[in-house]
């Protein structure tokens, strides 16, 4: 069997079964590993890689944005656990034909990302590559024990909430791949794809609330990532399609080009919104506090159920959606 | 300009200038970053990547060994600072045509490496790749403050010492690339290439001695890595060629095939021996203690000088060697 037919999650499961974590340490299976330090704090550690031809096209992405995005996608993982990101380690494998100016711009984007999020880049590895440009970032953060949120904490009746518009990045990628002429809306969508804006401040704030039970970030699309959260929590969810937060640029673009925005929102990938569940009685206070603290909305989109899997509804009516999941191993691009 | 003409060290220097470490933290430029934890200990963090076609040939290396080697080369970096390796994070980018059996064997080798060195694999990233198989390991270790050795501590008159035979790995690679028929000697040389044997126990033992002033591991060949240590310490060195430790299999192979073993020892790369400098008055005690503790020799090969660069001598006579450095960016294979 070839890897293409196996899939990332199956391989991950194999790895997770092969490597069990020592007692007290949370290893494979969440957005970041959690290593208690014995002083009331834990280290959070995450790795995310960007590979040419799979996660980006070298001839499309501005190299500065590629560097910035390498930082941002990892910051998103630390934020999703409720941690503060601190120390970065970059491994970059560079084909020998790469222009040094391209590599320099990537590093400047990395630097901008580090400055934006207050990170120190402390090391890594610089190596050659035969064909593909490859970037891996390992990001170490810290969090107070007791204020770390996992994927496995969702409870029956919890409200499912996201912190940001969904689908902009996936739609932005489509306009990049299909060479759409730039408009102000398309620029906004492409920016969502190239320069995600995770917020560790929002992550730690949400994680500090006991009513928030489970949290992760959305990197592979709401449908895929919510399923991971549900599997981890051994729950299901009902999601109301008409509650999905869709940005005005996405809505205008889809209307103009006769696209359905929903597949972008569910499977577009790379939104880097936070996805969490909260006890229903805590929702209003949380929304008000969030609005006050961040001048930004929280978007409730459904609730946790006992039944496994996700049921989608539109205005209360159950839908039967056929979704193509975002899967790096198929090298498929979002819809 | 293309990357091939720039080189790994030039790019690393550019990066090091772009990213300065916060006070008290040692970042880019040594075998591992050092992050003090405020409790008398520091975290050590290192990343080392293995890339198909640059560091290994997929059709040659047994996948189990590839996994094992990914662990070993990183353990070597932590050992070189005097640390104990603890937590591993693996990023693996896999072409979709890769056989799942190959990927599974790689993971079993990773597991054997983790078990050998008492590591816990706690996370990473699993992604697709268009062409090249790519492995990056981030390894976190710990060390007591005050018992960590750096590259920059070498002092005038220090003796330069290595802990292991040099050149076996480089020669082993040659026999692999040139399809030599297997003999017992060639098997030993190839094993040195595929399964390095770093020793964190030796690293921490050496680092606990105050007479040991500077330490690193030899990954790119003695000539290249000693130059890095000297640059970092702003010193030079005299090396006596006849003192280089050469293994019986290497000597027999070279004699039989009429090769000079010295270029293998100086530039073959991937020896993963420790390289350190020690005050001359401490050498004898150190050698005796090392022999007693590890039943293994230390090999003094020269001494530190004020003059920059390395001067090579044979039986006291100065040599003028023309060495081709081991450089991933030239995709060159050792001699």
So what's the ipTM on this one? 0.92
Give the integer Cα–Cα distance in Å for B49 and A93: 8
Label residues A101-126 b or e (16+ Cβ within 10 Å = b).
ebbbbbbebbbbbbeebebbbbbbbb
pLDDT at A12: 78
Put simply, the answer to whether A122 touches B8 (Cβ < 8 Å) is no
Put simply, the answer to whether A128 touches B331 (Cβ < 8 Å) is yes
Does residue B44 contact residue B32 with C-beta atoms inside 8 Å? yes
How far is the alpha carbon of B150 from chain A, nearest alpha carbon, in Å?
Answer: 15
> Which of B1, B3, B64 best probes binding to A when mutated, by most A CB atoms within 10 angstroms?
B3
How far is the alpha carbon of B317 from chain A, nearest alpha carbon, in Å?
Answer: 37
- Select the residue of B53, B123, B130 nearest A47 (Cβ to Cβ): B123
- A278 SS3 class: strand
Quote the tokens at residue B19: 């990213």
User: Residue A289 — very low, low, confident or very high, per pLDDT cuts 50/70/90?
Assistant: very high
- Select the residue of A103, A104, A132 nearest B132 (Cβ to Cβ): A132
Put simply, the answer to whether A93 touches B134 (Cβ < 8 Å) is yes
Please report residues of B whose CB lies closer than 8 A to that of A136: 47, 49, 91, 125, 136
- Select the residue of B18, B131, B134 nearest A111 (Cβ to Cβ): B18
Q: Summarize the confidence of residues B113-127 as an average pLDDT.
A: 95
- Select the residue of B2, B18, B96 nearest A3 (Cβ to Cβ): B96
Put simply, the answer to whether A89 touches B11 (Cβ < 8 Å) is no
Phi then psi dihedrals of residue B288, to 5 deg: -65, -45
Higher-confidence position of A16 and A4: A16
Residue A332: pLDDT over 60: no
Cα dihedral B222, B224, B228, B230, rounded to 10, equals 60
Q: Summarize the confidence of residues B291-315 as an average pLDDT.
A: 96
- Select the residue of A35, A123, A129 nearest B33 (Cβ to Cβ): A123
How far is the alpha carbon of B129 from chain A, nearest alpha carbon, in Å?
Answer: 6
CA atoms within 13 A on the CB side of B19: 32
- Select the residue of B35, B54, B100 nearest A128 (Cβ to Cβ): B54
pLDDT at A334: 36
Residue A333: pLDDT over 50: no
Put simply, the answer to whether B97 touches A4 (Cβ < 8 Å) is yes
Quote the tokens at residue A264: 């972008």
Give the integer Cα–Cα distance in Å for B102 and A20: 22
Burial grade of A296 (CB within 10 A; 0-12, 13-18, 19 or more) = exposed
Q: What confidence tens digit (pLDDT) does each residue in B172-201 have?
A: 999 999 999 999 999 999 999 999 999 999
Neighbours of B62 (CB within 10 A): 16
How far is the alpha carbon of B120 from chain A, nearest alpha carbon, in Å?
Answer: 7
pLDDT at A331: 41
The residues near B223 (Cβ < 8 Å, ≥ 6 apart) are B266, B267, B310, B323, B325
**Residue B110's Cα: distance from chain center in Å?**
18
Q: Summarize the confidence of residues A203-212 as an average pLDDT.
A: 97
Question: Of the candidates A321, A78, A330, which has an alpha carbon nearest to the alpha carbon of residue A222?
Answer: A321
pLDDT at B322: 80
Quote the tokens at residue A16: 């997770």
Quote the tokens at residue B134: 């790519």
Put simply, the answer to whether A328 touches B35 (Cβ < 8 Å) is no
Put simply, the answer to whether B3 touches A97 (Cβ < 8 Å) is yes
Give the integer Cα–Cα distance in Å for A204 and A84: 7
Residue A171: pLDDT over 60: yes
Please report residues of B whose CB lies closer than 8 A to that of A132: 93, 129-132, 134
The residue of chain B nearest to residue A115, with distances taken between CA atoms, is B19
Give the integer Cα–Cα distance in Å for B50 and B79: 19
Question: Of the candidates B315, B318, B312, B217, which has an alpha carbon nearest to the alpha carbon of residue B263?
Answer: B312
Residue B171: pLDDT over 80: yes
Give the integer Cα–Cα distance in Å for B335 and B326: 9
Whole-number Cα distances in Å, A96 to A59, A93, B173, B311, B327: 16, 9, 22, 31, 12
Q: What confidence tens digit (pLDDT) does each residue in A96-139 have?
A: 889 989 999 999 999 999 999 999 999 999 999 999 999 999 99
Q: What confidence tens digit (pLDDT) does each residue in A290-309 have?
A: 999 999 999 999 999 998 89
Question: Of the candidates A210, A272, A207, A264, which has an alpha carbon nearest to the alpha carbon of residue A241?
Answer: A264
pLDDT at A38: 84
- Select the residue of A11, A100, A138 nearest B1 (Cβ to Cβ): A100
Q: What is the pTM of this model?
A: 0.93
Please report residues of B whose CB lies closer than 8 A to that of A131: 53, 130-132
DSSP B63: H
Number of A to B CB contacts under 8 A, please give it.
Answer: 247
- Select the residue of B2, B99, B128 nearest A97 (Cβ to Cβ): B2
Question: Of the candidates B197, B190, B199, which has an alpha carbon nearest to the alpha carbon of residue B169?
Answer: B190
The residue of chain A nearest to residue B34, with distances taken between CA atoms, is A122
How far is the alpha carbon of B60 from chain A, nearest alpha carbon, in Å?
Answer: 16
Put simply, the answer to whether A136 touches B91 (Cβ < 8 Å) is yes
Question: Of the candidates B119, B118, B143, which has an alpha carbon nearest to the alpha carbon of residue B39?
Answer: B143
Please report residues of A whose CB lies closer than 8 A to that of B32: 123
Give the integer Cα–Cα distance in Å for B268 and B245: 14
Higher-confidence position of B169 and B5: B169
Mean pLDDT of chain A: 92
Please report residues of A whose CB lies closer than 8 A to that of B87: 33, 35, 45
pLDDT at A224: 94
């Amino acid at each position: 069997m070839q890897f293409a037919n196996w899939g990332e999650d199956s391989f991950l499961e194999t790895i997770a079964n092969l490597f069990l974590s020592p007692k007290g340490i949370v290893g494979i299976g969440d957005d970041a590993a959690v290593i208690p330090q014995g002083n009331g704090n834990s280290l959070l550690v995450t790795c995310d890689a960007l590979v040419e031809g799979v996660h980006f096209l070298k001839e499309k992405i501005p190299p500065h944005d590629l560097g910035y995005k390498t930082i941002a996608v990892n910051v998103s993982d630390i934020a999703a656990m409720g941690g503060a990101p601190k120390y970065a380690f970059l491994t970059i494998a560079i084909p020998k034909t790469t222009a040094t100016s391209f590599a320099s711009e990537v590093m400047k984007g990395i630097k901008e990302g580090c400055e934006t999020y207050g990170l120190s880049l402390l090391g890594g590895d610089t190596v050659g590559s035969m064909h593909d440009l490859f970037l891996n970032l390992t990001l170490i953060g810290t969090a107070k024990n007791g204020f770390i949120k996992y994927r496995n904490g969702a409870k029956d009746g919890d409200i499912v909430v996201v912190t940001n518009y969904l689908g902009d990045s996936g739609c932005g990628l489509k306009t990049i791949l299909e060479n759409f002429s730039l408009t102000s809306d398309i620029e906004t969508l492409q920016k969502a794809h190239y320069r995600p804006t995770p917020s560790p401040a929002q992550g730690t704030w949400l994680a500090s609330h006991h009513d928030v039970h489970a949290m992760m970030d959305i990197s592979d699309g709401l449908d895929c990532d919510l399923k991971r959260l549900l599997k981890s929590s051994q729950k299901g969810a009902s999601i109301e399609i008409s509650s999905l937060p869709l940005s005005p640029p996405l809505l205008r673009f889809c209307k103009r080009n006769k696209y359905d925005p929903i597949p972008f929102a569910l499977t577009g990938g790379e939104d880097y919104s936070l996805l969490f569940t909260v006890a229903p009685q805590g929702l209003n206070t949380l929304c008000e506090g969030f609005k006050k603290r961040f001048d930004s909305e929280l978007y409730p989109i459904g609730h946790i159920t006992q039944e496994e899997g996700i049921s989608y509804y539109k205005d209360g009516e159950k839908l039967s959606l056929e979704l193509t999941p975002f899967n790096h191993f198929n090298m498929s691009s979002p819809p």
